[in-house]
Amino acid sequence: MNAVPCSPPEAGTRLQALADWVAEVAALTRPDAIHWCDGSDAEYDALLSQLQADGTLIPLNPDTHPGCWLHRSDPDDVARVEHLTFVCTRDAEDAGPNNHWMAPDAAHRKMDALFEGCMRGRTLYVVPYCMGPIDSPLARCGVEITDSPYVVANMRLMTRMGAPALRRIEREGSFVRGLHSLGELDPDRRFIMHFPEELSIQSYGSGYGGNALLGKKCHALRIASWQAREEGWLAEHMLIVGIENPQGETHYIAAAFPSACGKTNLAMLVPPATYLEAGWKVWTVGDDICWMRPGTDGRLWAINPEAGYFGVAPGTSAKSNPNALAMIQRDTIYTNVALTGDGQPWWEGLDDRVPAFDWQGRPYDPANGPAAHPNARFTVSARQCPSWSPRAEDPQGVPISAIVFGGRRATTMPLVFEARDWAHGVLVGATMASETTAAATGQVGVVRRDPMAMKPFCGYHFGDYFAHWLSFDVPGAKLPKIFHVNWFRKDADGHFLWPGFGENLRVLEWIVGRVTGHAAAETSPLGLLPVIDSIQMPASVQLETERASILGYEPELWDADRAEAGRSLATYRPRLPQDFETALRAVPES
């Protein structure tokens, strides 16, 4: 792309507030050029050519992966940096114990010093974007200023970026301000600051997606969760999937899982053969983020604010997620995957081939560790997913019938249960937990509480966040039923009791049945459990004892878990809402 010379930023927009902000940033960072992104195909093609010319992107095999590219990031810049991510509110208590906090004035001084002159020799890109369908009343807009053309290319895939977004920003006059620079990619000079009271984000020193694509976690969750509380909606770390039964009725489910719990796999689920033959279909609306707002009919209506997927490549295969594998065969940007000898992307769990080069470009040697980085990614347009739902672009969103929480638990939690009511469901989400894996932490089975899978992403105090969830239970509300699932229960020999993947549709069928009043359940201290024959079991589960183990729970373990969950919640006092304390005390022992 031929960068335009520095010119008065008023030339790029009619909105004076935006023009003034770009001018202020340019004066601070001193770029050689400014480019206002329009999101056109021509602009994207020119950007890819520039990235290829300077070695940032490597073209992949055009016969097997047309339009696909490989990016290798700095080896010290491969993941989100939670310990360097701050929420900067005037009152530290508003950020809460679930966030790292820094005073706004101190954070601005620190970041201004880092940004001073950092774009010399570079182009400043102005990236207007819309999170959500461009005409949706649920959508919100932002502008990211960055000196990374790789970020620009990814933002075009991940958001509705360019001229239409700019026109909406100019009409509304408001937008989230995101300032990003690669800096020197020095881990000691790397910070991601959020200023929710200012609706602004500043990120320095990283080119990694979660730290640099500011529309994603930074805007769509940390800032949006603050906006949502003020405006009466919810910004959640949830997939959205539509389940269509043989009668042609579609129910939409929003689900929150911590990492390594099968979120993307569930969003793109392929039904078992018998379900396909019967006419069941699965529609993918989103795999990561869900914005929900009460509609005039009392139901929660949801959009996926993203336009693309920034997925984890390792583990993605024809068995685990055939839809994901199919959608990334063309027009995809891969980051930190390995390469085969003929220029195809490769990662652990894909197939039995041996790659030629690892994620750092070295000849592959098992002694150097995995061929692909464990956090290797793909960025791709959501429309390429075979199960993509056209309702993903519906300005009104989709009505949510059920909300599902879940985690990776080898014991304690059954396959599925239903919360007794909304308050109990919020409690279930607030106390959800998942066990760590050896690949992530070096320890197996360590239970970590991750309320609503939002611990790294909620932009304010969890006590206030729980109260906000409870506030939706008002007269006239037709709220979704809330459930908890656990695909990862193990037997005494350490084998998974439930086969997972596409078979999870059997559980979703029961959940939809509970919504419509057609599936049977029985009461328990946890909530409502499926009766033994209300879920169609897969062929691999034949014995009655296996069914009982999958659907049941261990009372002693659950009682201990409930006590530990109460201690975890106590850390959010005194802002833990009284209704929440009441709901916690109301949970019976086994």
> Average of pLDDT values for 398-427?
96
pLDDT score for 590: 62
Task: Work out the percent of the chain whose per-residue pLDDT is above 90.
Answer: 87
pLDDT score for 584: 72
pLDDT band at 9 (very low <50, low <70, confident <90, very high): very low
Does position 17 have pLDDT exceeding 50, yes or no?
A: yes
Does position 555 have pLDDT exceeding 80, yes or no?
A: yes
Specify the pTM: 0.95
Does position 438 have pLDDT exceeding 90, yes or no?
A: no
Binding site for substrate: what residues are annotated?
80, 208-210, 259, 375-377
3-class SS letters over 460-478: CCHHHHHHHHHCCCCCCCC
Binding site for Mn(2+): what residues are annotated?
217, 237, 288
Distance CA(314)–CA(78), nearest Å, equals 14
Task: Work out the percent of the chain whose per-residue pLDDT is above 70.
Answer: 96
Q: Which two tokens stand for residue 190?
A: 């790397």
Q: Is 130 a catalytic residue?
A: no
Pairs from 562-566 (Cβ < 8 Å, separation ≥ 24):
562/431, 562/587, 562/589, 564/447, 565/431, 565/433, 565/449
CB contact set of 290 (below 8 Å; sequence gap of 6+): 234, 235, 236, 237, 238, 239, 240, 254, 302, 303, 304
Type and span of the H or E element at 379: strand 377-381
Distance CA(445)–CA(411), nearest Å, equals 10
501: left (phi over 0), alpha (psi -120 to 50) or beta: left
pLDDT score for 121: 98
pLDDT score for 582: 75
Q: Which two tokens stand for residue 366?
A: 């098992």
Asked which of 3-7, 37-41, 510-514, 565-569 is least confident by mean pLDDT, the reply is: 3-7
Question: Is residue 340 a contact partner of residue 75, using CB atoms and an 8 Å limit?
Answer: no
Q: Which two tokens stand for residue 390?
A: 């056209």
pLDDT band at 1 (very low <50, low <70, confident <90, very high): very low
Does position 283 have pLDDT exceeding 60, yes or no?
A: yes
Distance CA(243)–CA(280), nearest Å, equals 7
pLDDT score for 437: 57
Does position 441 have pLDDT exceeding 70, yes or no?
A: no
More confident residue, 25 or 552: 25
Distance CA(44)–CA(163), nearest Å, equals 13
> Average of pLDDT values for 370-386?
97
Q: What is the pLDDT of residues 119-170, one digit of tens each?
A: 999 999 999 999 999 999 999 999 999 999 999 999 999 999 999 999 999 9
DSSP 491-531: -TTS-BSS--GGGGHHHHHHHHHHHHT-S-EEE-SSSEEEP
Cα-Cα-Cα-Cα torsion 219, 225, 227, 231, nearest 10 degrees, comes to 140
Q: Which two tokens stand for residue 151?
A: 């970020």
> Average of pLDDT values for 207-233?
96
Q: What is the pLDDT of residues 577-586, one digit of tens each?
A: 887 777 777 6
pLDDT band at 442 (very low <50, low <70, confident <90, very high): very low
Q: Find the distance separating the first CA and the last CA of the chain, reported in whole Å.
A: 65
Does position 329 have pLDDT exceeding 80, yes or no?
A: yes
> Average of pLDDT values for 214-235?
98
3-class SS letters over 312-337: ECCCCCCCCCHHHHHHCCCCCEEECC
Binding site: what residues are annotated?
80, 208-210, 217, 237, 259-265, 288, 375-377, 408, 501-504
> Average of pLDDT values for 239-255?
98
Helix/strand number for the chain, H first, E second: 18, 29
> Average of pLDDT values for 63-83?
94
- Is residue 295 packed enough to be buried (19+ CB in 10 Å), middle (13-18) or exposed (0-12)? middle
Does position 86 have pLDDT exceeding 60, yes or no?
A: yes
Q: Which domains does the chain have, with CATH numbers?
A: 9-58+82-231 (3.40.449.10), 236-307+389-586 (3.90.228.20), 308-384 (2.170.8.10)
pLDDT score for 249: 97
Distance CA(210)–CA(217), nearest Å, equals 6
Does position 328 have pLDDT exceeding 70, yes or no?
A: yes
Does position 484 have pLDDT exceeding 50, yes or no?
A: yes
> Average of pLDDT values for 43-64?
98
Residue from 37, 118, 261, 290 carrying the catalytic annotation: 261
Residue 255, helix vs strand vs coil? strand
Q: What is the mean pLDDT of the chain?
A: 94
> Average of pLDDT values for 219-226?
98
Does position 3 have pLDDT exceeding 80, yes or no?
A: no
